[in-house]
Amino acid sequence: MDSVFPLAAAFLLATVGIHLMSMGCAAAGRVTLLRVGLAIGAVLPVSVVTVMLVPARGGETDLVHSVKMGYPMFWVNLLIGWALWPLGGPGQSAENRGGRGTR
């Protein structure tokens, strides 16, 4: 009976997380969702290229050592940040990008 609670809690947390994410995705545009999808898909290839450029201590350059060294965690933060960056770039207001203003 003790092993049922962690499984139920994990299922509940995943369900709540997916619901909250779907609420946020409904407000996002198609271009933003496409950029996030591309960013998530690019994490592993970019991590493998990074481990080839900066190999592990023993000289290993495979996916397992890329994950051990934390490259996917590094790249997912950078790539998702890029994907969620405003399309107009920093310093541009909503009026300059063609969106609705705050007034």
pTM: 0.59
pLDDT at residue 45 in the model? 92
CB atoms near residue 33 (< 10 Å): 12
pLDDT at residue 30 in the model? 75
Torsions phi, psi of 3, nearest 5? -85, -10
How far apart (Å, rounded) are the C-alpha atoms in residues 49 and 45?
6
pLDDT at residue 64 in the model? 87
pLDDT at residue 94 in the model? 52
pLDDT at residue 99 in the model? 53
* Category of 70 on φ-ψ map: left (φ > 0), alpha (ψ -120 to 50) or beta: left
The residue extents of the domains of the chain are 4-89
How far apart (Å, rounded) are the C-alpha atoms in residues 36 and 54?
26
Largest Cα span, the chain: 59
Give the burial string for 43-77 (b: 16+ CB within 10 Å, else e). Answer: bbebbbebbeeeeeeeeebeeebbeebebbeebbe
How far apart (Å, rounded) are the C-alpha atoms in residues 43 and 60?
19
Residue numbers in the chain where pLDDT is lower than 50: 93
